[in-house]
Structure formats: C-alpha cells, structure tokens
Amino acid sequence: MLRFTPILLAILYGLAMYRFSAWRTARELDARSTELADPVLKRLCDRMAEALDLKRIKVNIYEIDPVNGLAAPDGRIFITRGFYEKYRAGEVTAEEMASVIAHELGHVALGHSRRRMIDFSGQNALRTALAMVLSRFIPGLGGWIANALTTLLAARLSRSDEYEADAYASALLTKAGIGTGPQKSLFGKLEALTATRAGAAPAWLLSHPKTAQRIAAIERNEAHWGAVRSR
C-alpha cells in the first residue's frame, strides 16, 4: 500500500490544484469582466439561442488585451477585450465572432471543464508513477522524461477537446442559419490575430490543432452530414 501513496497523493494534489485554479479564475473573471452589449452580436446570439431552445446566451467581455475566447469552469462564456476590439476595427466579422461564442458553448455543453479536472488529476498521478519507475532505470532524467511524456498527453487531449468543440460549433452555426463559412474564415485569420508562431511547431506538440487540420475536420463533418441528409 505504501508504494502507491505518492500516486494517491498526486491525484489528491491534482484535484486540489484544479479546484483552486477554478476558484481563482472565477474571482479574476468576476473582477475584470462585464456583460457584452453589442446589438449585432446579440442578434446572432439570439439566433443560436433559438437553435438551442434557450431564452438567451449571455456573453461577457474579459478586460484583457490578448485575442481569445474562454469557457469558464462555471459555464460562463467570455471573449476578451482584445478580440472584441478586433471585431470593432473590422478585422473580424460579427459572424466570425459568433463562431467563437459557438465554440466556447461547445466546451461547456460537452463538459470539457469537468473532464479537464479529471484529466489533470490523472496526468499528475501518471507523471508521478512514471517518474518513480523511470528514475530507477535513468537516474537524473526519469523525472524530466515523465514530465515530457505527460505534457504530450495533455496536448493531445486538449486537441481532442478543440476538435469536439469545433464540431459542436459547426452544427450549431448551421442550425442557426449562420453556416460554417465564418468559422473557417476565422481560422485563417487566427495566427495573424494572435501573433503566434504555431506554424513552426510540430502539430503534436500544440494544445490546439493546426489551422488546416481544423478546417479539414469541419469539411469532413459537413460532407458526412450532407450524406446523411441525402439518404
């Protein structure tokens, strides 16, 4: 039993750290966000709400400069001030912003926040177990290798969540009559908008899939849905 104690402690530590992180994130968002009040985006959100049989979709602006969307652990949806200003400047269309909101709604609807709590705890336990085993055979490097392997696993799980949220957004945008065109066109702008160098890194090291892969996945879904409807 004693040999498993470090692993059990790692699981408990992972759970505690996730809970603390979620609490700290909620406090930060409460202090630095306001409800979005844009009439054009509201009309698009109302169309998506109708498609989901909801009274409304509440979106908040998080007052930070980086371009991003966020689904908080408590289910709230945020877009950053930096992203909203890109929209106001005409660099992003209203429909493209709606695709971001739809994507974040996907994270909430698919339970990705809850899954990440489980994943984080499991990865922490796996890292501890691997470090214990590998350190016996590769002293000094076992912990580093264990950390690298679990980092790769976390990135793969994150990419899976992104694909799922993309598919949810595609279905919602289609049902709302907005279509997937804005979703795909936004992906073509994201690297420039966020000033990332993601294209230089191997896809399997990234927490988000590469742009071309995300667009290809959306188009595969469209082809599949079209084939199903034609039967």
Q: What is the pLDDT of residue 56?
A: 94
Full residue range of the structural domain in which residue 37 is found: 2-229
In this prediction, residue 152 carries a pLDDT of: 61
Phi-psi region of 177 (alpha: psi -120 to 50; beta: other; left: phi over 0): left
Residues 175-188 pLDDT 10s:
999 999 999 999 98
Q: Residue 72: pLDDT band by 50, 70, 90 thresholds?
A: confident
Residue 71's DSSP bridge partners are 77
Q: Which residue has the higher pLDDT, 139 or 214?
A: 214
More confident residue, 72 or 51: 51
| Exposure string over 112-142, b if 16+ CB within 10 A, otherwise e | bbeebbebbbbbbbbbbbbbeebbeeeeeeb
Q: What is the 8-class DSSP label of residue 91?
A: S
| Contacts (Cβ under 8 Å, ≥6 apart) of 147 | 127, 131
Which residues share a beta bridge with 61? 34, 79
Entry pTM? 0.74
| Confidence (pLDDT) at 203 | 47
User: CA 24 to CA 52: how far, in whole Å?
Assistant: 30
Q: What pLDDT score was predicted for residue 104? A: 95
The pLDDT value recorded for residue 64 is 93
How many domains would you assign to the chain?
A: 1
Dist CA 77 CA 109 (whole Å): 11
Return the minimum-mean-pLDDT range out of 58-72, 92-106, 156-170. 156-170
Least confident stretch, 40-44, 74-78, 121-125? 121-125
pLDDT band at 143 (very low <50, low <70, confident <90, very high): low
How far is 150 from 111, CA to CA, in rounded Å? Answer: 22
DSSP secondary structure string, 95-140?
A: HHHHHHHHHHHHHHHTTHHHHHHHHHHHHHHHHHHHHHHHHHHSTT
Percent of the chain with pLDDT over 90: 45
Give the residue among 216, 152, 52 at the shortest CA–CA distance from 77: 52
Strands 33-35 and 69-71: unpaired
